[in-house]
Amino acid sequence: MKLVLAIVQDKDTRGLMEALVAAEFQATKLASTGGFLREGNATVLIGTEEGKVDAVLAIIQKTCHVREQLVSPLPPVVEPVDSYISAPVKVQVGGAVVFVLDVERMVKI
Ligand code: 2BA
């Protein structure tokens, strides 16, 4: 058995969860926060058989989109804050960051 752990943007979570349930996968959504943007995202856990991992990845790819986001860099420590004009920079976020893990044992109690 495998555990697919997908970090997705909030905007894509609903579509992803609906598509997973429609394809009869079991999934759990956890609220999470990205370390770089410090914004809410979602971590979706999907436990499934090894042979179905590619189907899960295909659903994630179909429902999670790449977006550009503007970030304002923090002012450097050495310069006075009022002399620093920060230009927002663009970063690309998503579609999804996915980890596929081996599951040693799954138990429902
Ligand atoms: P964040 O950490 O908020 O990162 C959002 C986006 O900012 C990233 O998109 C990436 O394009 C950019 N970014 C991150 N760190 C950066 C840096 N030091 N310099 C410049 N740009 C940077 P994604 O790569 O699509 O990642 C989306 C979210 O997935 C991340 O949100 C984080 O929550 C998670 N993530 C990504 N890689 C991870 C990893 N290796 N381990 C755990 N979580 C990860």
Band (76; pLDDT cuts 50, 70, 90): low
Q: What is residue 73's predicted lDDT score, i.e. its pLDDT?
A: 72
The phi and psi torsions of 35 (rounded to 5 degrees) equal -70, -30
Q: What is residue 85's predicted lDDT score, i.e. its pLDDT?
A: 65
Q: What is residue 88's predicted lDDT score, i.e. its pLDDT?
A: 87
Compute the average pLDDT of residues 24-35: 97
Least confident of 23-37, 53-67, 74-88: 74-88
Please tell me which residue, 74 or 53, carries the higher pLDDT value.
53
What residues are in contact with ligand 1 under a 6 Å CB criterion?
7, 34-37, 41, 91-94, 97
pLDDT at 80 over 90: no
How far is CA 38 from each of CA 1, 30, 48, 54, 108, rounded to the nearest angstrom? Answer: 32, 16, 30, 30, 34
Looking at ligand 1, which residue's alpha carbon is closest to its atom 18? 36
Looking at ligand 1, which residue's alpha carbon is closest to its atom 8? 93
